[in-house]
Structure 1
Amino acid sequence: MTAAHDPRRSPRSGALTLALSGVLFGLFPLLRPWADKSETAAGYAEAMGSEWWVIAHLSGAFGFLLLALSLGALRELHTGTRGEAATRSSVVVTWLGTGLVLLFFGAETFALNAVALEGQAVFEISSAIREGATQLTLFALGLLLVAIGAVLVAMGVWRGGVLSRGSAILLAAAIALYLPQFFLPPAGRIAHGILTAAAALWLAAAMWRARRGR
């Protein structure tokens, strides 16, 4: 793969990767069935047994993965600038967090769907799959690390002088709110998804127009 097509090195490839990440973050709550929020066994089965449950959660999982991939291009953009250290650190922290987050997404996407399709006691089994102390701790830690990575990106962009100084602040705020938004009703979570998409597209547009700092 040449540098012109490597999202870790090409600003425009990285911008496209980030833009796609934002679109997937927006699609996740828009496509997700919400019947499980009725807190009934029938609602759980309806939502988790739907094909849209799998599609939506895959969108969310790939949103995190592509976000992590796009940060390599941001790091390259800020090589030789005052923002280099922060953007370099953001890559490591975000990848660690993404790995932990994807563990949880895998169970949510496939295990819960399989349980619902088998017609088992989906209400009880889903609670055991998604609400165990280990699962929740790792998921929360992963989201915290990704949020720290996004804040480091905003710091690097602010200091680096390569992109407009505020272009990463909204994305940092949206990612930092990713864990709290799980406690919102569906409308709030959809609004957060749209906010995250807009923030990622804003930073992606800035990256598309940018030149490397070196």
Structure 2
Amino acid sequence: MTTPAVTTRPSTEAGRAGRRAVRWTALGAVGAALLLLAFPLLRPWPDETVPSLALAADLASDRWVIAHLCGIAGLGLLAPTFLGLRTVLRDRTPPAGGRHGTRAATAAVVTAWLGAGLCALHYGAEIFGIRTIAQAAVRTGDPALLADVEVLRYQPAAVVVFALGLALVAAAGVLVAVALWRTGGRRAGLVTAAGLVLYLPQFFGTPAVRISHGVLAAVGLLLVAWAVTRSRTTTAGHPEG
């Protein structure tokens, strides 16, 4: 009886798919890092305690719009990045007695997607609603119109939606830390979790605090990109853990 020839094509295709997953996960993490850092760096930081035409000009500026779009896009890239991370972890050889962390990564994808979606609603109001009010103040020369900015920003429904969105983003960070902890990427997971968990409290900080937080979030995601490109891949599937 003739022994069938052994083919390496499936293994080769699996290896290529694994490399693609690593590449796109790393690109997603780097993109999210740069966008989340760009938000506080580009955002104008006027004195918002006293309504003025200078404040109105900053809120109506292109920098205000671009910065907030970067913030939305950065949060929006988290879920695709974590989805890629799940694929990468699934194809890794876990440490002895360890797990892949794919269940935690799957939960991170869901929470990050939901969180980013809810945050985008509030960011949209910041971009278009506040800018419209500020443009009216500039056009009429009446800074008193800026009183509506606080009304828009802190209406109860908006606050609840934004807080819930950021809570889900924080949960995604913790879940990513759990997933990476099980596969050797502890530093990347911990820094990423710190950046995402602190997303809500940093909104109450000074501009310096908020920029520092942007650096922290960016460093965490860059470490994720580094971790996925440095880990060892396999071509065989493994059960979830």
Unaligned runs of 5+ in 1: none
- Residue 115 of structure 1 pairs with residue 133 of structure 2: yes
1:5 offset after TM fit, Å? 10
SS in 2 for 1:142: helix
Determine the C-alpha separation between the residues in 1 that align with 2:43 and 2:89. 36
Summarize the Cα distance change of 1:42–1:204 in structure 2 as closer, same or farther, 3 Å threshold: same
Letter in 1 for 2:193: A
Structure of higher CA gyration radius: 2
Q: Which moved further from structure 2: 173-182 or 108-117? A: 108-117
Say if 2:33 and 2:219, in contact at 8 Å, map to a contact too.
yes
Summarize the Cα distance change of 1:33–1:175 in structure 2 as closer, same or farther, 3 Å threshold: same
Determine the C-alpha separation between the residues in 1 that align with 2:115 and 2:39. 19
Count of residue pairs the alignment pairs up: 209
Percent pairwise identity = 40
TM-score using structure 2 length: 0.80
Determine the C-alpha separation between the residues in 2 that align with 1:185 and 1:123. 21
The match for 2:222 is: 201
SS in 2 for 1:39: coil
Say if 1:36 and 1:45, in contact at 8 Å, map to a contact too.
no
- Residue 19 of structure 1 pairs with residue 15 of structure 2: no
- Residue 179 of structure 1 pairs with residue 200 of structure 2: yes
TM-score using structure 1 length: 0.89
1:39 offset after TM fit, Å? 3.4
- Residue 93 of structure 1 pairs with residue 93 of structure 2: no
Say if 1:96 and 1:145, in contact at 8 Å, map to a contact too.
yes
Letter in 2 for 1:114: T
Q: Which moved further from structure 2: 50-59 or 122-131? A: 122-131
Determine the C-alpha separation between the residues in 1 that align with 2:146 and 2:193. 34
| RMSD, matched Cα | 2.3
Say if 2:188 and 2:224, in contact at 8 Å, map to a contact too.
yes
Alignment of structure 1 residues 68-107 onto 2, 5 Å: 68-79=79-90, 81-107=99-125
Letter in 1 for 2:117: G
Say if 2:72 and 2:120, in contact at 8 Å, map to a contact too.
yes
